[in-house]
Amino acid sequence: MSAVDLVLLGLVQETPRSAYEMQKQVEFRNLSRWVKISSPSVYKKLIQLEEKGYLTGEAVREGKMPEKIVYSITPCGREYFLKLMKFHAADTVQVLFDFNAVIANLNKIPKEDAMELIDNIRTGMTESKKYMEGVLPHRSEIPLVGRTIMIQQIEVLRSLLDWIDSFQAEFQEDRYPAKKE
């Protein structure tokens, strides 16, 4: 039950789109910050969704532009979309951060290196928060459901920054001894 399928079906449910238009919407809406989705996966997934009967593709030519495939959702696709919505709404929330792999191994490297890595993680969190806070006021056209996800992300980043500050202080106090060189 792919979240990528859900995103793509949702985009096509709004309006029929080409793969390129969907990829641009993913970028414009910053969806890759919320769901693991990349440009290559958009194209690959659209083909799979069409093969499964969830989408239909129609070749369209506009003026002298090259022909493109415009995807529309099928009745079967609408059912699958709703099924995905229900599945993901009922699923347990997984809190996954790639930086936790670094945190889990900090006690295996010299303390100075570990502190530098913690600083780098904090910097990444701070930059992400600043970016989201900077984008939000300039995107008044974003519907409530999109704005609320951005606000959610800002709040999560605030909590993570509080957490990393606390962790860094404890780590510095040697409560988590790091490997000596």
Q: Which two tokens stand for residue 159?
A: 């909590």
Query: Is pLDDT of 150 > 90?
Result: no
Strands 55-60 and 68-73: antiparallel
Q: What is the DSSP letter of 180?
A: P
Instruction: Report domain extents, the chain.
Output: 3-90, 100-172
Please provide the CATH number assigned to the domain covering 3-90: 1.10.10.10
pTM attached to this predicted model: 0.74
- Distance of alpha carbon 154 from its chain centroid, rounded? 13
Residue 94 backbone phi and psi in degrees, to 5:
-100, 130
Residue 79's Cβ-count burial label (10 Å; 0-12, 13-18, 19+) is exposed
Place of tokens 């069409």: 50
Centre a 10 Å sphere on the Cβ of residue 149 and count the other Cβ atoms it contains.
17
Task: Please report which confidence band the pLDDT of residue 90 belongs to, taking 50, 70 and 90 as the band edges.
Answer: very high
Higher pLDDT, 122 or 131: 122
Answer with the residue of higher pLDDT: 180 or 48.
48
Please indicate whether residue 2 or residue 154 has the higher confidence score (pLDDT).
154
Rounded average pLDDT over 107-132: 94
Report pLDDT for 128: 92
